[in-house]
Structure 1
Amino acid sequence: MLGLAQRVVFCALLGSVYASCPQRCECSEAAHTVKCVSRDLRSVPTGIPGYTRNLFITGNQIRRIGPECFKGLDNVTNLSLSNNRISEVESHTFAGLRSLRSLDLSNNQLAVVHPEAFTVQNQSLRDLNLSRALYNHSSVTDLATSLRWSSLGMLRGLDLSHNGLIYLPSHIFSHLGSLQRLQLSNNSLVAIHNSTFSGLDALLELDLSLNSLKTMGEEGLRELDSLPRAHLLLGENPFTCTCGIEPFALWLNRSQGRVSDARGLVCAFPASMRNTSMLAAGTLTLGCHRSGAGADLALQTSYVFLGIVLGFVGLIFLFVLYLNRKGIKKRINDLRDACREVWEGYHYRFEIDSDPRLSQVCTSADA
């Protein structure tokens, strides 16, 4: 009887375990894991066991998540919601996950991110994966607000790669004082400015590879120098090695210890410099000065050539005048005689009009 009773109790416990697992999900109490992978779910399933530490809800059709989705899951430390087509994350969605340390929202379509979307009690969140998560580059404005308002002071790693970002709002990371790893690779960033990395005093890794950086201006270099502890990745950017690249090339030579892929950085444009090492591009300083001197010399030569041409035209004009000097002299004399006759006629009429006696004589003669 005792053995039978033990079997009944075991079956009851086993049945309760299976009963607590949501439909279309797989649960493992031993591994503290629940997986709801590619089950065509339209929302976060209810009835997730309280023992769950690792929760994987991926490859489904979940459009929105809010605070009601994760109630009673105090033990969840790793949450993956990747590849669900999520477009909206409401404020305090994860506030009930008191132990949450890693959140994966990669491969979604986040268009609306509410200001306190990533707020977690006790600031427990350490890693946030938003790779391929933003619907378009304009969503970064919502994200910037959320990063400021979501109490992420203890966040260590942030992945924003593969999001097509063309710019980063000013001070976007200023409230992430404990951030150590920042992934910005495979975007479309064309410049670093506006105090982008302000407040990242603890940053140890910064990946800016596979962007659209053609050079790094003085402001961008100051931004990178504000991260003295960070190791940088700058590979696969279309660096344009013209005279404007000099300050960056010189900075790169001084900072080889921090730029992990410095020796692999090459020029992409112009064609004559393609695949030239960026470290060697610093020698363009002298070439650029020579180029400037050549430009000045070319300009001076143009002025001299223009003067010669104008002088030659003047000589031809004078030669033509010389050949036609007689005809010109005759035309001048004729013009002078004509002017003299006109003047004498005006003078005669003036004398008649001014002397009454001459006027009367002229009148009698006309009669």
Structure 2
Amino acid sequence: MKKLILKYLTNTITDAEQDKLSKWLSDSENQKIFEAHIKNDYYLNTIYNEDDLHKAYNDIWDNILKQEKDVKRLRTTPWLKYKYIAAASIALLISLTFIFNKDNTQISEPIIVNNNIKAGTDKATLTLDNGSVVALEKGQIYTSDNLESNGEKIIYKPVNTLKDQIAHNYLTIPRGGHYLLKLSDGTQVWLNSESKLKYPVNFVEGKTRKVELIYGEAYFDVSPSILHSGSKFKVRTNTQDIEVLGTEFNIKAYKDETNTYTTLVEGKVSINNAINTVILSPGEQSITNANDEEIKTVLVDIYDEIAWKDGVFSFKNKPLKDIAKVLSRWYDMDVIFIDKSLEKVRFKGVLGKNQSIEEILSAIKSVSINNYEINNKTIIIK
């Protein structure tokens, strides 16, 4: 249910999912779980006293009541207590406009010289086996032989292929983009900003299905082996090979990061770096490094690691330096820290990827930094 809660908070939930969440929350015990989750995980109370928070809740609630569509939704959703809606829906996700710091003084206004920063969208570059390059963008349709794209995803149709006839395509996602790929075996791959995947246009029946994440981040929902004559599925990165039988997992292997992170959501995967091998269980994350023979494993909050594919930034006490990398890729911009000590300051909150960069920065500014400046496509943190 944590996934549905996060999708609700970021306004990415479907009507069917909201009905499911509403039914779950009709139980009083589940309401307590919901409230505890919001308060403990996504309720930014670390720098505010109770008087400030009560004032913030009241101000935000008054603002919500002015919006007719929200009033209608809230009146038909009795299980949501007003202070948790206020804290989650606006205080965390929009800009914390109504929250004051401990001495009740408002924080200084940011400096906006010229804001040319836009949120990312569906876009990719498809490189065919013959070297041809095709730009895939939202709103544009492309079809060819056994593939078609509606501008938001690309789908390959299965065809009979001999082993010596396998052709490969490349899908490259730029900064400020993401894309969904459905391989010919039915496997779905969500590719994050600044990523590149190499894959066959079709798989040979009964043979191991192999793809290569050249760099970046990808979420795999693998079509089960039982549907493909028992053939395994393998993903290669620059530091490891991953073998699966039918599962869901996330790989993060960016060029500007030394570690490769693999997070298992469902099923079972084997991680091999040519020296050691580990088997992951759901909820575990492996960490590999080209300069380290050891494969480290840690327990993680799964949805925090994969929320990006559902249009969510879920930051759980992340250093601002790491958050800046994530934002830079999605908003295609650069971040400069004037005060280097701010890079280590940690932020906790849930934000929507469809929000403007000013809304994102306002939320972070309210709890973590003094001020910021936007100049064209550069953000200066002060």
TM bin (shorter chain): under 0.3
TM-score (norm 2): 0.23
User: Which has more strand, going by share of residues?
Assistant: 2
Higher relative contact order (CA 8 A, sep 6+): 2
User: Which has more helix, going by share of residues?
Assistant: 1
Task: Please say which structure displays the higher CA radius of gyration.
Answer: 1
